[in-house]
Homo-oligomer: A and B are copies of this chain.
Amino acid sequence: MKLRPLFPSQETLGIHTDLYELTMLAAYFEAGFDEERATFELFTRRLPAERSFLVAAGLEQALHQVLNVHFPEAILDWLRTLDVFRDVSPGFFDYLRDFRFSGDLWALPEGTPFFPHEPVLQVRAPVMEAQLLETYLIASISYQTTVATKASLLCRAARGRPVIDFGSRRAQGPQAGLLAARASFIGGCAGTSNVLAGQQLGLPLYGTMAHSFIQFFDGEKHAFEAFQRSFPRHTILLVDTYDTLRGVRNALSLASPPQGLRVDSGDLGRMARAARTLLDRSGHHETRILVSGDLDPEKVKALTEGEAPIDGYGVGTNLVVCPEAPTCDLVYKLVERIHEGRILPRMKISGDKASFPLRKELYRLREGREFLGDLLAAEGEAAPAGHSSLLVKYVEAGEATVDLPGVRQVRDDARTQMAGLPDRLWKPQGEPYSVRHSPRLEEAERSLRRSHL
């Protein structure tokens, strides 16, 4: 029986996209536009619900696509069988056979906070190359950005106590769990339960036991004893399978104190307090208390502010699915056509979906380390004195130009960056952050709008 796991792979990156990217490529090719260049920017027009900023993440996976996308012969053979391509000239498939990304790519370093209209990534390349990347780029950056942002809010609410990603089973498919583990670490989490993420990225791994483990034994205490025999230095016991306080007492009756207890149900603050009291009375001051169970930033904040004796939080669904804001609505928009070396500004005009043309630089004005406001300016326009653009060139003429930092470095950089966010932006609907457009961008926008009236 052939079962399809539906794994993404390097060999299928060329078709891991929307059909319209490929039909547009064919039309560009047949229109003789294979030498024409364009610039696209990835940004959001508005913040998701309950967000006053976003934290950029997912660049490493996006760059993997950009630097590896190609069309193996077997994929080309399959594409040729599609009826939609029946009238397309064979030369198009020769073009795809040789397809490699040859353009330039700029992006905000992962962990950088950003705001509406600010490009998180920019591609300048032959239009066909830049277009093909769209679907996968959005999916890569959008999801990790969603999770890194949520993690930052949870960690802020936990005020230094570790928050751990427990969400793999709740993620929207197996890869999402893996991506969420990475992104939540970037956003400030201490680690993850996802073992594969640990293996791939060196993330700290956390885990305890399931209720089923307790139930399998005849009696909770036997289960605790068995676990402690195997993990004498890593015994974190789940105490709420039958009755939380009885569970704590069973944990206290072990030959040596466990390293930690986990409470997964009930009034977490009250249970933590009662457990702490019992632990302290027995002199088990070193035993930590972890809690989990439908935690979100508000609940974590309430527990932290209520000074519940909690040493760590495990978060699942609310971190990795992020139900209140499960997407950050990034769009990948054409901002320039480059025709015979001349840059022609481009933008979408209809409805309320307007955007600004031209490739932009992003300047962040600060007082001390606190962000005062951002300025978007056209490429080549004078920078505010003493400032350099936050956008970094990661790819030039198809080649990587800088090494990416490891995920631990990204996390440290993110923490430094986020320390500059004004306090009001940590609230769900704070006074919005100022993002201004330079005179040259405003003039380009007005002029393009006039030309379409």
Contacts and interface: CB of A to CB of B under 8 A. Distances in A.
Interface in A173-199: 173-180, 182, 193-199
A295 to B, nearest CB: 15
A112 interface: no
B19 A82 contact: no
A227 interface: yes
A241 interface: yes
Contacts of A333: 211-212
A95 interface: no
Interface string A198-225: 1111000111111111011000000000
A15 B36 CA distance: 46
A209 B20 CA distance: 5
A93 to B, nearest CB: 13
Contacts of A4: 60-61, 64, 200-201
Can you tell how many copies of this chain the complex includes?
Answer: 2
A417 interface: no
Given A196-B16, A348-B215, A230 B317 contact: no
B20 A193 contact: yes
A231 B337 contact: no
A36 to B, nearest CB: 8
B195 A18 contact: yes
Contacts of A216: 28, 33, 36, 38, 127, 334, 337, 346
B15 A195 contact: yes
Contact of A168 (B18, B144, B193, B233): B18
B1 A403 contact: yes
Contacts of A215: 334, 337, 346-348
Contacts of A86: 233
A393 to B, nearest CB: 14
Interface string A20-37: 111110111111010010
A45 B326 CA distance: 23
A12 interface: yes
A84 B205 contact: yes
Contacts of A326: 172, 321, 323, 326
Interface stretch (A99-107, A130-138, A297-305, A366-374): A130-138
A139 interface: yes
Contacts of A229: 27, 30-31
A3 B226 contact: no
B10 A8 contact: no
A199 B72 CA distance: 13
A78 B199 contact: yes
**6 residue pairs, one from A and one from B, having the closest CB atoms:** A19-B207, A20-B207, A175-B175, A212-B334, A138-B169, A3-B64
Interface of A: 1, 3-10, 12, 15-24, 26-31, 33, 36, 38, 40, 60-61, 63-65, 67-68, 75, 78, 82-84, 86-88, 127, 131, 134-136, 138-140, 142-144, 146, 166, 168-180, 182, 193-201, 205-213, 215-216, 226-227, 229-234, 240-244, 265-266, 317, 321, 323, 326-327, 329, 332-334, 337, 346-351, 353, 400, 403-404, 452
